[in-house]
Amino acid sequence: MEELLNNYTSVFPDTATSWVKVGHTSDFPENGGACVKHGKLQIAVFNFSLTSKWYACQNLCPHKLEMVLSRGMTGDADGIPKVACPLHKKTFSLEDGSNLNGESYQIATYPVKIQDNMVYIGFSDK
């Protein structure tokens, strides 16, 4: 399973080489998340309708390596948008993927674009 982790590296708006359409905005629950598939990758997409922002990260929780983050509760800590893993409530920043519990593992994040009510995720596929 460890090798699964290596599939996920953060992508930033300026390093994205392709923008992949993953669904209609209404496919994603407001102030919650859902999972999309891109090739081998599972990406968790979060719709923060309270702040009109969207975030995406790996669906894989780095703590126990299970594909569950999209099912986690979202929220913020000191204004930083975050997701809490449904298994052990480890929390991660959705802005930079950092671990908010002070542990060393973190998650990869991906940029999200909304155009004509469609949701696009930025990847840098080689």
Positions in the binding site for another protein (CB under 8 A): 1, 4, 22-23, 27-32, 34-37, 42, 45, 48, 50-51, 64-68, 71-79, 81-82, 84, 86-87, 89, 91, 103-105
Query: Which residue's CB is nearer to another protein, number 4 or number 10?
Result: 4
Cα–Cα nearest to 45, from 115, 126, 121: 121
Query: Which residue's CB is nearer to another protein, number 78 or number 116?
Result: 78
Q: How far is the CB of 84 from another protein (least distance, A)?
A: 4
Q: How far is the CB of 89 from another protein (least distance, A)?
A: 6
Burial of 38 (0-12, 13-18, 19+ CB in 10 A): middle
Cα–Cα nearest to 123, from 2, 7, 5, 3: 7
Token digits for 90?
């480890």
